[in-house]
Every structure is written in structure tokens, then in C-alpha cells.
Structure 1
Amino acid sequence: MKNYLQEMIKRKDLLFYLVKSGLKAEHRNSWLGYFWWLLDPLLNVLVYYFLVVIILQRDDIPNFPLFLVIGLVVWRCISSSINSSSKSIMRYSSIINQVYLPKSIFPLSFTLTQLFNFAFGFVVIAIFLAIYRVMPGWEAVFLPFIILVQTVFLLAVGLFLGYITVFVRDIDNLITYVTRIFFYASPIIWAGGRLGGTGFAWVIDYNPIAIIVTSYRDVLMYKDLPDFLGLFIILLLSSAVVVYMLYYYSKNEHKIIKSL
């Protein structure tokens, strides 16, 4: 395990290169490039605002467009990280078969790539905060902690899915439906409090994505403290998964080469 981590540190230049190349490849054939990270949340807000407010006539959430944009920006980072990191090892299979590299560096690079893109989404959130004249309080100092929890959580999921997908290729197709379930089971376009009297409150209480999204809204919109207990549990469990997966990678990377 120690030697494996030392090898990853030696390959830090490769990690930076993978992140940089991943950012370029993501927008290589796009005219608007990184502007899509600004435009996509705006278009999604329009779509879901039309659906929820105009069609369903549910307008009981104050500053609903701001509520929407926070949820959609966070969700895009989460879903993009899960989808890209799950395919990360398969994507670089040609390199892996030729040169020895720590295989865990590939899910890590894709997670960091989406974290960089996530920064563009905060520009959109800042614009909506200004439009609705919502000034975050001192609670915003916990924003880096929430981002840290989200990153460790996504890294844990990415390391696990990146390894499993090598051996079970159908996982890639299944992820599409699983992420869709989590989208509708999390308060992305609706308020979590609506499940309070339905017997499904556990969907929010034990859903890590729901806890993360709600924590962003707490510190940015409502000047409230985030759910520290939920965030610490996510951080603790995710950190344990990351450590275990790194150990597992170090002992079983030869199986990845044989499968590829």
C-alpha cells in the first residue's frame, strides 16, 4: 500500500496531464466550449421552471429559480463525475496495456476534472444570488468543507465503479438508470420537506446526494448551518471506501490488465 501511494505521487505529472487533457477533450468539438458549463444550468432552470411552475403550478418555494440552479449545478457535477469516472479505466485501456501505471489515477483524474468544471457552475450561482439579492451569511465559510465532502464521496464512488466496470461492462448502462433514480429521489427540483408526512422521509435522511445538495442551499440561500452530522458521516464512510479501494487496487491491478 505504501509503495503504491508513493508510485501515485511519482505520477502526479501524469495526473495533471490527464486532468488538462480531459478538460480539452470534453469541449474539443464544441463551439461554446466551457461556456456550456454556464449555459447548461440556465437552460435547465428554464426547463424545470416551466415544468414545475407553469405546468404543475407549484410555486411554494421562495426564490425558486435560485433554488433550482443550486440543485442543478451540484447535480451536474455529481452525475458527470459518476458517469465519467466509471468509464475512466476503460477509456485509457490502450495506455494501461502498454505501460505500468497506478490504475486508480484514472478515476481520480476524472473526478478532479469535473471539480474544475464545477467552479464554472458557481459563477451561475453567484449571478442568481445577485439577481435575487440573496447575500450568504457567515455560514458560507463552511462551503469548502461541503466541497471537500462532495469530492471525497465522488472519488469513493469513482474508484469503485471504475474497477467494477472493467469486469462487468453492463454496469455502464445500469448507471444511467441509477443516476436518474437519485435525481428524482433527491431535492434537486423539489423541496425535501414535502416527504415529511409520507413515510418516505428516509429518502432524504439517508441519501448522501440529498444531504450535500441541501447543505449547499443552507449556507448559500438560507443563512443556516449545514447538516454537519450527515456530512461527517459521508466524509467518514467515503474516506474509508477510498482507503480500502486504494488498497484493493494495489493488490488486484493485475486482474485489470488481464480483463482489458
Structure 2
Amino acid sequence: MSQLEHHSSESLAALARRHGLRPAIARPRFPVYVRQLWERRHFILTYATSRNVSKYSGSALGQLWQVLTPLLNAAIYYVMFGLILGGSKNIDNYPAFLLTGMFVFTYTQRTVTAGAKSISGNLSLIRALHFPRASLPLAYTIQELQQLTISMGVLLGIVVLTKEWPNWFWLTIPIVLLLQTMFNIGAGLVLARLGASIRDLNQLLPFIMRTWLYASGVFFAIHDKVVNSAKLPEWVATAMYLNPAASYIEWMRDILIGSHTPPPMVWVSCVFWAVFSVAFGFWYFWRAEDRYGRG
């Protein structure tokens, strides 16, 4: 670049600053970014709802699939792990135990998987319009939360059929779901940024999710399987309980199944993962705000 061109470039930059102009894709300060997200809350909700309506519009059963999918998965796992492999031994009310694990884990699994694709799958929208990019993973989380409300109604009905009667502890279900949603938001934001830059992430996610499923005690009692059956050290079971997916599953089981008593550490784990995940997730995603949609 010649000296004249360099001087001209500097003059244009100074002129832009003097008149309050800034790059179109510049990353705003974090408080401004949060305010922009709040101002677009109606867009986020509408986008999530429209995706929910259109997702199953091409199938005969429509929205029923969001309930049938975890139910069918639970039926397969019940036959394989509960009956054939004897996983239901020493577990009271195994159907409610298994279904609670499946529904709670599926909520996180779907949210994280959708979050990983929220940026890479919407490049045309990102390049055409200016809006906080976090709107997309947030909308995907709300979409899964809307589906969960229907699934939870089915789960509660099935739990009652297994003779687990409603009690005052059921009023704490929204607290668990709120904490899990906070965790899902943070995890979805982290995966959204990673998915935008690591092209092979979506190919690896199914294997990661399957491993996470097996490590979260969805279809077996963690302490009984790890310590009593596998004869592993107690700290291995403790580490598995502190896994966020397992923590939310265990707390929900504690509410719905009278005979189920998880270690108290899971409640602390649920709060920690919710606060840490949503705080770190927003910060981590915001740091790359000016890079989404490039390349």
C-alpha cells in the first residue's frame, strides 16, 4: 500500500469515528448485547414456535412424535437393559425410573444438538440480517422447552399410572426444569460457537451424546451399578452423579418416585451447572459475535 493510500485509509477511519459510524458486524459491549437480545425476545419466541409447528407438519402424527420418540426409545431400553440385561433389579418402579431419565435426558440432548447446528444451519439468515446471533441458539432452546411441556404432561400421567401419587414435592418440578433450561442455554451457546467453526462437530455429536447417555444413569442406578456390581471406587459414582445430565435426572426422580433417594450433592450440582453454564455460555458465544457467518 502506498503512503497516499495509507493516509487516505486512516482519514476514512477517523471520519467514520467522528460521525459515530462503526463496522456493521462489530461486537457490541456485553451489556448492550444482552439488551439487544431482550429487545428481540418476541422474534426469538415467534421463531421457536414457528419451527415447532413446521417440524412435524409433513408427518401423519404431527406433534405426537415429540412424545412418541422418547417413549419408543424408553421401550427399547426397557427390553434391552431392564429385562434382558437385568437392569431393573434392585430398582423400585423401574418404568417410572427409566421414563424420567429418558425424558429429562432427551430435553438436554435435543437442545445441545440443535444448538450445535443453529449457526451453521442458518448462514443465509445471518448474512442477510443484522441481529444478535445468540437469538438462534436461544430460539432452539425455547423450541425444545415447548416440546418438553407436552412430554412432561405425558410423563406425569405415566408416573401416576405406576402408583406414584402427586404430593407437595411435585410443586418443585418447575424449579428443576428452570435450572436445567439454564444449563441447556449455556451448553447450546457453547456448542453453537464450536459448531460454527468446527465443521465435523455435527458428525461427532451422535457419538458424544451416546456416551453421555450411558454415563448419566438413564437406565441403571449409578451407585448400585458402579460400586456394588462393577466394584469401582466410590469416587467414580460421585463423578457420575456430578455429571449435569445425571444431576437433573436424579433430582427429578427424587421428586416423582417416592422410594428414590439420590445423594444431596446432586442438588448443589444442579444449581452450580445452571449458573456456571448460562454465564460462561453467553460470554463464550458473545466473544465470537463478529465472526459468525464469515467464510
Q: Would you say same fold, with TM above 0.5?
A: yes
Query: For 1:247 and 1:54, how far apart are their aligned partners in 2?
Result: 47
The question of whether the paired residues in 2 share the 8 Å contact of 1:136 and 1:222 is answered with: no
Q: Which runs of 5+ in 1 are unaligned?
A: none
Q: Distance in 2 between matches of 1:158 and 1:187?
A: 22
Q: Secondary structure at the match of 1:8?
A: helix
- Looking at structure 1, the residues matched to 99 and 257 of structure 2 have their Cα atoms a distance apart, in angstroms, of 11
Q: 2:85 aligns with which of 48, 56, 80?
A: 56
Alignment-derived partner of residue 8 in structure 1: 37
Partners of 1:57 and 1:228 in 2: CA distance: 29
Residue 232 of structure 2 is aligned to residue 198 of structure 1: yes
Q: TM-score, normalised by structure 2?
A: 0.81
State the alpha-carbon separation in 2 of the partners of residues 153 and 19 from structure 1: 18
Distance in 2 between residues matched to 1:258 and 1:42, nearest whole Å = 40
Instruction: Single out whichever of 220-229 and 190-199 deviates more from structure 2.
Output: 220-229
Corresponding letter in the other structure for 2:172: F
The residue that corresponds to 1:232 in the other structure is 271
RMSD of equivalent CA atoms: 1.9
Is residue 66 from structure 1 mapped to residue 96 from structure 2 by the alignment? yes
Instruction: Pick one of 242, 255, 280 that aligns with 1:241.
Output: 280
8 Å Cα contact 1:136-1:219 kept in structure 2? no
Distance 1:164 1:246 in 2: 9
Match of residue 67 from structure 2: 38
8 Å contact 2:112–2:184 — kept in the other structure?
A: yes
* Number of aligned residues: 256
| Offset at residue 246 of structure 1 (A) | 5.3
1:103 correspondence with 2:139? no
Query: What secondary structure is seen at the aligned counterpart in 2 of 1:86?
Result: helix
What are the Cα deviations for residues 80-122 of structure 1, in whole angstroms up to 9, with x where unaligned?
1111111011222111111111101000000110011011111
* Identical amino acids, percent of aligned pairs: 25
Whether 1:151 and 2:190 are equivalent positions in the alignment is: no
Alignment-derived partner of residue 253 in structure 1: 289
For residue 204 of structure 2, the aligned residue among 174, 193, 203 is: 174
Are the aligned partners of 1:136 and 1:221 in contact in 2 as well (CA < 8 Å)? Answer: no
Separation in 1 of the partners of 2:52 and 2:44? 12
What residue ranges of structure 2 are gaps of 5+ in the alignment?
1-29
CA offsets 1:109-168 (integer angstroms, 9 cap, x no match):
001100110111112212212211111432222211111111111111111111111111
Q: What is the aligned counterpart of 2:49 among 3, 20, 25? A: 20
CA distance in 2, matches of 1:59, 1:247: 45
Decide whether the 8 Å contact of 1:63 with 1:132 is kept in 2.
yes
Tell me the SS of whatever aligns to 1:257: coil
Q: Return the letter of the residue paired with 2:237.
A: A
How big is each residue's C-alpha offset from its partner over 1:30-85, in whole Å with a ceiling of 9 and x where there is no partner?
A: 11111112322332232122112332234321111111111111111111111111
The 2-side partners of 1:181 and 1:203 are apart by 15
